[in-house]
Amino acid sequence: MSLLLIDAGRHACARLHDAGHQAFFAGGAVRDRLLSRPFTDLDIATCATPAQVAALFPDARTVGASFGVVLVQCLGVELQIATFRSDHSYSDHRRPCSVTYETDPRADVLRRDFTINGLLENPLTGEILDYVNGRADLDARIIGAIGDPVVRFAEDALRMLRAVRFAARLGFAIHPATLAAIQQNAPAIQAISSERVRDELSLILTESNPRQGFVLLDQSGLLPLILPEIAAMRGVAQPPEYHPEGDVFTHTLLCLGYLENPSLELALAALLHDVAKPATFNDSSGRIRFDGHAEPGASLARGILTRLRYPNAVIDSVVSLVANHMRFMDVDRMGQAAFKRLLRLPRFDDQLELLRADSLAALRPLATYDLVRRRIAEIPPEQIRPPRLLTGGDLIAMGFPAGPLIGEILQAIETAQLDGALSTPDDARAFAASRFHD
């Protein structure tokens, strides 16, 4: 994808250049090219006005008229072309109240967020324009704001979360002055919409180093403002015989670190699986316990994800993962019927991966995880959800009265079927007649 984007970008820039306009690759694509990282989108910055861009690209679509942003198609690829601009005062912590189109690329760079995102590349010559020491920060592996970081974060407070995300994704440090500005201005994050915060959190959780992301959220002072329930885990002790790794916060971050290319739902479940431990902490017996923390954890998870405006389908999946994560502790004592029902849990692959990461985070052997996998291998897939032997109508035809008893009988039949005791409808009828007829 990166090579196709480059070819399309060069084609677009050549057309702009031929018409007498400056045009450069800008932002993340330049950064990632210099870091030899793949990228999936490409932005172009130019001195051409939106009208001039549209004149050169007949299929152009203006998507940000007030910000000079135009979408064009080149070689079957969609590219974003933006006119050089400078931004004026921000009143909503998100967008400038007005912009001025510029002809100088330096003016365009100075409005951007971080030095590593302020690099421009002439794709026709390979020249890199660096007005903000971005290449030095790339080499030093530093995330630093362009200009005064306090001003940058006052313009758009979401940039504080973006600093954390870039640092975690790239394995960089945040420049001390930039980190200090985040700590100073952290309360401003509360002016940002839940949706924008949610989107940054989702990227932190699913990109390459979520554990480091949450370490930085904690250090920056942002964590208690956007996820106070996670910050509350800090200092909550766990029984050392089961959790030698430390407190609940340490365990949760370790769990995130053991995930491998997680789905968003799995990453959120790993973050929230022990969210009720602070509330259920009990050491009155002289031994630390968190009895029944999975159920209140599921309720807390629903509230947190609703507050952050996640889609209902995501919320329901995460709640299920959190609610059921302790059920695996009984696998060694679980009969066939109960185990097969466990395998029917929604997103079972994610549920199993959560068990693996949770076990590793507690510095435990993967004995339970390995046992589950062995038991799964012994069960033909068709036996996990076998066809129903009888219906409620069949039971009524046998003389059983309509009502709750029908459900009880069907459940008992399914349990016997999953245990291997029943395999035909006649077996099921005989079972029902012997067990439930007076």
pLDDT digits (tens, 9 = 90+) for 145-187: 999 999 999 999 999 999 999 999 999 999 999 999 999 999 9
What CATH number does residue 84 fall under? Answer: 3.30.460.10
43-46/128-129 β-pairing: unpaired
SS3 102: coil
Say whether pLDDT at 89 is over 80.
Answer: no
Strand order in the sheet with 61-64: 61-64, 69-74, 77-83, 43-46, 23-26, 120-121, 128-129
User: In 3-state terms, what secondary structure has residue 128?
Assistant: strand
Q: What is the pLDDT of residue 94?
A: 59
pLDDT, average across residues 297-320: 98
130: CB partners within 8 A, 6+ apart: 118, 119, 120
Domain limit, last residue, from 112, 140, 168: 140
Q: Do residue 301 and residue 422 come from a single domain? A: no
| Mean of all residue pLDDT scores within the chain | 93
pLDDT digit string, tens, across residues 190-233: 999 999 999 999 999 999 899 999 999 999 999 999 999 999 99
Q: Tell me, what CATH number does 164's domain have?
A: 1.10.110.30
The answer to whether residue 210 sits within a structural domain is yes
pLDDT at 201: 98
Q: How is 301-338 classified by DSSP, letter by letter?
A: HHHHHHHTT--HHHHHHHHHHHHHTTGGGGGGG--HHH
Q: What is the pLDDT of residues 341-357, one digit of tens each?
A: 999 999 999 999 999 99
The length of the chain, given as a count of residues: 438
**Confidence at residue 197, expressed as pLDDT on a 0 to 100 scale:** 97
Question: Whole-angstrom Cα distance, residue 46 to residue 68?
Answer: 10
In a domain, 126, yes or no: yes
What does the longest C-alpha to C-alpha distance in the chain come to? 94
State the Cα–Cα distance between residues 306 and 329, nearest whole angstrom.
29
Convert the pLDDT of each residue in 386-400 to its tens digit.
899 999 998 999 988
> How many structural domains does the chain have?
4
Gyration radius (Cα) of the chain, Å: 28
Quick: pLDDT tens for 131-155.
Answer: 999 999 999 999 999 999 999 999 9
pLDDT at 68 over 80: yes
pLDDT of residue 313 exceeding 90, the answer is yes
User: Is the pLDDT at 76 greater than 60, yes or no?
Assistant: yes
Same domain as 353, residue 235: yes
- Place 91 in a pLDDT band, splitting at 50, 70 and 90: low
- 1, 76 contact by CB (below 8 A): no
Assigned domain for 41 exists: yes
* 2 pLDDT more than 80: no
- Which has the closest alpha carbon to 322: 305, 340, 343? 305
Give residue 126's region: left, alpha or beta (phi > 0; psi -120 to 50): left
Does 295 lie in the same domain as 352? yes
Task: Please indicate, yes or no, if residue 48 is contained in any of the structural domains.
Answer: yes
Q: Is the pLDDT of residue 12 over 80?
A: yes
Percentage of the residues of the chain whose pLDDT score is greater than 70: 96
pTM: 0.90
CA distance from start to end of the chain: 70
- Kindly state whether residue 145 falls inside one of the protein's structural domains: no
- The tens digit of pLDDT for each residue in 399-438 reads 889 999 989 999 988 888 888 889 899 998 989 888 887 6
What sign does the CA torsion over 257, 259, 263, 268 have?
Answer: negative
Structure confidence at residue 96 as a pLDDT band (50, 70, 90): low
pLDDT at 95: 62
Domain end call among 366, 383, 400 = 383
By residue range, what is the domain housing residue 263?
A: 227-383
58, 76 in Cβ contact below 8 A? no
